[in-house]
Structure 1
Amino acid sequence: MQKLIGFVKNIVVLASVCVCVWCAWESLGAWFSERGGEAFLFAAGMGIEGAPESETEQGTGLPPESSAVPEEVHTDGALPDDGVVPFHSDLLPGFTATPDPNRSSGTVEEIQLDGGTPIDNFFVRDSTESGTDLAAELLESPDVHIKGDGSVEVLIYHTHTSEAYSKEDSGFYYTDMETRTQNQDMSVVAAGEELAKALESRGIGVVHDKTVNDLAYNGSYSRSWEVIQKNLAEHPGIQVTIDLHRDSMTTESGVKYKPTAQIEGRKAAQAMLLAGCDASGDWGDFPDWEWNLRLILRVQQKAQELYPGLMRPMSFSNSKYNMNATRGSMLIEVGTEVNTAAEARYTGRLLGEILAETLLGLE
């Protein structure tokens, strides 16, 4: 009799388990039907809350000091994929959206910067009050004549060589994060290297000078001026000098902005071209600023034509920043410290394609 009672109990337990499993399966099936592919991503631990879109803009000046954590070195020439996902997606595979509660952290907001005065197909933020007719300057030919025969005609250098990027696209940052680094795979040097390779692939000879000019931040521009002069003496065919930086944008509430564009299905750090001006002639050593302006306007125009959204509004300001070195001098900001190194490298490559198209197309 005891055996019979035990057998009946086992049957009842088994039946209960089957009912529970069947109910759970029905609920799960309904959830998957409702959520579709998102449900599978969530089940795999890949679904997180995403930052809302924003049109807020802050900061257009030169960046402060910068750095990041080491990253593996890639020697095969390929751009590493460090969590690149669609712009504003709420899916960041491989990374956590929850910071360590034992470390002070802040929010990263991914934005796309635009606005300014429309000129042709792009925008310019003109703070010079010089009355310069930018539309008319765009029609003027730059004084740059690139042969594209492999001889050195472009110099890429970095006044703030240690400015760094982040390793991961995580949606937050730690307030004690390093923003400068001597690991040149994680700094503006990496973006410059991609820029150089893209230009060289089109037959434009490049010197990429990786001299560290900001071990002591004060005096960086004096040191980079010496770098420019050294290279001009060694390569008298240089017509274009590019000072590649990265920016930094943080609100009073501690939100760091990450200017980002999606180009051909991949995230890129938004870049900004800066053209200097000395309309009053007060400096006395920058009489050719209009020649730089004409070239930079052409580059901005070509960028918008090839990769809409990649560039922030062009900045035209009362500044010099060593742009009095040649008639083809420019300063470029690529992203901020919370853009990833891979995003910055991708932008470097795109900038190379834009510059090649611009320079080789000049009369």
Structure 2
Amino acid sequence: MKGPIIWKRLLRRCGALFLATLAVWLLILCGGATGALESLGENGTFVATALAAELGGTGSAGLLGTLDGWDRLAVGQSRLLSASQDAVAGYLGKVGEEELQLPAGQPAQDHDDMGEEPEVTAAPSDIIARTLIPTSPQGYDVAGGLYLYNRTGESVNLAAAAEAAVNITLPAEGPQILIVHTHTTEAYTPDGTDVYTASDQSRTLEEEDNMLRVGDEMERVFTEMGLSVVHDRTLHDYPQYNGAYTRSAQTVQDYLAQYPSIKIVLDVHRDALVGEDGTVYKAVTRIDGVDTAQVMLVIGHGQDGSNPHWMENLTLACKLQTGMNTLYPTLARPMAFRASSYNQELSTGSLLVEVGTHGNTLQEALAGARLFARAAGQVLLGLKA
């Protein structure tokens, strides 16, 4: 009896593979492997379901890696399916997004709008990985493939912001970019050799493990690309967390006065995503085989419109977001427009950059920082005099 069962199983799976291959093949003829799943609509569910049910793929971490010998051979012999496995796996990985109640991509109160972060504890094995990509325009301002999560009462013409020119010229001489950290001691989930002595919940004074290390990575990439960077290393959130933005504002003002050549100010943080039930999430994608923390750009409106530069900052954010979407389509989370100003009233080139969340590992964050800097650097090089 064992032989007939095996043959029936093999025939059933070959049939499923044929149907899935046919669906993917037709779409690749129209739009290529990367865009196939986007074009499938409900058929995307069919392909993913067929592969998951018939081949045992249960998650987004590399479809072939979940298969046994017969299944691996069957998929491996199909150039269409093996070439499209990342797209299919990505589709499967999006299934759980609704648990985060997107469009927020922010299941908890924004930690940068709070005086203190909530106390959260979770073992690494309990942290839920999600790739936060919009699956519909509902709840967003949308224009030209850009998504903006608007948490202000301000009406936003995102299309106008995206189409506008960035009114910034980077001078040929002197520092051009300031990297600062309002929450310098923010850290990530300890993992492997990346362990640290905590100064508070998910925070450390050890520079190799907090936001200074992430800023160093951005500085290195920007510098290699020919951009001039000043990286501030002030601890604005220690020994006291409250008042960090007031202290970092003074730091930014001092640098702008000392170096009028600085036109771009990036306040680099990491986010904190905690569900109402206490579940800790991390924003992660896989790019070129590397687990990579997603990056979110935040534009500050300011209470009662106290930031007169928010539209100009939004235009810059749109250009950087487009750069990320072009080079690394899943790197960026939707942009966020929030009520706080985040000191962005100090410069027309100011943005808050969230690299991953406290659930990510440092190595994931460094990968995200590198790719963000490469994409952003391409845009900024176009602003040089």
Is the 2:189–2:359 Cα contact (8 Å) retained in structure 1?
yes
Q: Paired residue for 1:282?
A: 304
Structure 1 residue matching 2:325: 3-state secondary structure: helix
Match of 2:133 among 114, 130, 133: 114
Match of 1:249 among 245, 251, 273: 273
Q: Paired residue for 1:331?
A: 352
Q: 1:336, CA displacement in angstroms?
A: 1.1
Matches within 5 A, 1:71-90: none
* Shift in alpha-carbon separation, 1:60–1:189, aligned structure 2, 3 A: farther
Matches within 5 A, 1:266-345: 266-278=290-302, 282=304, 284=306, 286-345=307-366
Q: Paired residue for 1:265?
A: 289
Q: 1:52, CA displacement in angstroms?
A: 9.6
Matches within 5 A, 1:130-169: 130-147=154-171, 149=172, 151-168=174-191
Structure 1 residue matching 2:268: 3-state secondary structure: strand
The residue identity in structure 2 corresponding to 1:272 is M
- Distance in 2, Cα, partners of 1:244 & 1:60: 19
* Shift in alpha-carbon separation, 1:167–1:138, aligned structure 2, 3 A: same
Match of 2:230 among 207, 222, 239: 207
Q: 1:59, CA displacement in angstroms?
A: 3.3
Residue-by-residue CA offset, 1:116-154 (whole Å, 9 max, x unaligned):
33321231112223222110111111221124x463010
Q: Paired residue for 1:76?
A: none
* Shift in alpha-carbon separation, 1:295–1:105, aligned structure 2, 3 A: closer
Q: Which contiguous aligned blocks of 4+ residues in structure 1 show a shift greater than 3 angstroms?
A: 32-37, 62-66, 103-106, 281-284
Q: 1:34, CA displacement in angstroms?
A: 6.1
The structure with more radius of gyration: 1
- Distance in 2, Cα, partners of 1:106 & 1:218: 31
Structure possessing the higher relative contact order (Cα contacts under 8 Å, 6 or more residues apart): 1
Specify which structure has the higher proportion of helix. Answer: 2
> Structure 2: any 5+ residue segments left out of the alignment?
1-67, 74-92, 101-106, 135-139, 193-198
Structure 1 residue matching 2:225: 3-state secondary structure: coil
- What is the aligned-residue identity percentage? 32
- Distance in 2, Cα, partners of 1:187 & 1:106: 21
> Structure 1: any 5+ residue segments left out of the alignment?
1-31, 38-50, 67-102, 170-175
* Shift in alpha-carbon separation, 1:289–1:34, aligned structure 2, 3 A: closer
1:197 paired to 2:246: no
Length-normalised TM-score, structure 1: 0.69
Is the 2:221–2:373 Cα contact (8 Å) retained in structure 1?
yes
* Shift in alpha-carbon separation, 1:105–1:229, aligned structure 2, 3 A: closer
* Shift in alpha-carbon separation, 1:300–1:36, aligned structure 2, 3 A: closer
- Distance in 2, Cα, partners of 1:177 & 1:213: 14
Is the 1:221–1:321 Cα contact (8 Å) retained in structure 2?
yes
Q: Paired residue for 2:3?
A: none
The alignment covers a number of residue pairs equal to 274
* Shift in alpha-carbon separation, 1:122–1:52, aligned structure 2, 3 A: closer
The residue identity in structure 2 corresponding to 1:153 is Q
The residue identity in structure 2 corresponding to 1:199 is F
* Shift in alpha-carbon separation, 1:177–1:127, aligned structure 2, 3 A: closer
- Distance in 1, Cα, partners of 2:292 & 2:284: 6
Residue-by-residue CA offset, 1:203-244 (whole Å, 9 max, x unaligned):
111000011000101110011011111211221100010100
Match of 1:124 among 148, 154, 177: 148
Residue-by-residue CA offset, 1:271-323 (whole Å, 9 max, x unaligned):
11011225xx8355x22221111111111111111111111110012220101
- Distance in 1, Cα, partners of 2:337 & 2:94: 30
- Distance in 1, Cα, partners of 2:96 & 2:158: 29
